Amino acid sequence: MSTYSDDHNKFLKKLKREKILIKITQISIIIVFLILWEVAAHYELINTFLYSSPSKVFKTIISLYSKNNLISHIGITIYETICSFLIASIIGIIVATLLWWNKFISKVLDPYLTVINSLPKVALGPLIIIWVGASTNSIVVMALMISLIISIINIYNGFIATNESFIKLMKTFNASKMQIFTKVILPGNVSTIINSLKINISMSLIGVIMGELLVSKKGLGYLIMYGSQVFNINLVITSVVILGVVSYIMYYVISLIEKKFIK
């Protein structure tokens, strides 16, 4: 027997129907877009040499897979993204904690974080290659430069925006700063940290692609650069499509983690 009232059950069913409708609409948009794209290409309404088509993208994917290149390129990009994502997330939480813990340090570093975050990271690409070398390390460093500062700023802003009433209540019980952090600040900012991870994973992927455009001989970024150099638009668009799928899967994994922690 259900423990909920009839009105509550109706409300839950309404939410479920709404979620299903949203998913159906999202999938329908993609299907309609692909159909229109293919029809436009088939009837030569668009130049397939410049805009490709879903069927050509599919053939390119099959070709890459048959040559044993597809999984390798995807794997390299995912590996570099996960490395930079984990490093940026861990350092971001540690530095944000340090900034919350010590107001003097936060005031000193605040303008530097703003300046570093506003720097055009692509312009620093050649310097990173010289300092770190043309390797996977330079790609990870590029991704870190793009994602780390944003991660620090977002998490720190969440920490300082914590409800002061809870902090004052803890202080009335003579709670230590560590107790305030572990019992109020950290638990109260789970959503903030998860949202920061969502941003971080996308920014890490952007940084990895930018790094691969500069130095890599493997990865989706390399395929995009190579395809543009030989003017193989099918390869470029195929790489972008795969990149979108990879990005969605990574975002979906973070969303699953969010649901688990929120519960």
Exposed e or buried b per residue across 107-143, where buried means at least 16 C-beta atoms within 10 angstroms of its C-beta: eebeeebeeeeeeebeeebeebbeebeeebbbbbbbb
Does 122 share its domain with 17? no
Give the domain range for residue 224.
Answer: 52-262
Does 122 share its domain with 34? no
Q: How much helix, strand and coil, in percent to the nearest 5, is found in the chain?
A: 85, 0, 15
Please state, in angstroms and rounded to a whole number, the distance separating the CA atoms of residues 87 and 80.
11
Does 69 share its domain with 41? no
Number of domains in the chain: 2
Q: What is the pLDDT of residue 4?
A: 61
Does 33 share its domain with 66? no
Q: E strand or H helix at 191, and its extent?
A: helix 190-214
Does 26 share its domain with 140? no
Does 28 share its domain with 91? no
Does 171 share its domain with 220? yes
Does 3 share its domain with 67? no
Does 14 share its domain with 141? no
Q: What is the pLDDT along the chain (263 residues), one digit of tens a residue?
A: 456 677 777 777 888 888 899 989 999 999 999 999 999 998 888 888 888 899 999 999 998 888 877 888 999 999 999 999 999 999 999 999 999 999 899 999 988 888 888 887 777 878 888 888 778 888 888 888 888 988 999 999 999 988 888 888 888 888 888 999 988 998 888 888 888 888 898 889 988 998 888 887 888 999 999 898 888 899 999 999 999 999 889 888 888 887 777 66
Q: Angle at Cα 201 formed by Cα 18 and Cα 178, nearest 5°?
A: 100
Task: Tell me the HSE value of 5 on the side-chain side, using a 13 A CA sphere.
Answer: 3
Token pair belonging to 114: 């703003």
Does 214 share its domain with 88? yes
CATH number, domain with residue 189: 1.10.3720.10
Does 9 share its domain with 91? no
Spatial contact of 243 and 204, defined as CB atoms under 8 Å apart: no
CA distances from 32 to 43, 244, 248 (A): 16, 17, 19
Q: How many CB atoms lie within 10 A of CB 161?
A: 11
Q: What is the pLDDT of residue 50?
A: 86
DSSP state of 45: S
Does 80 share its domain with 27? no
Q: What is the pLDDT of residue 59?
A: 92
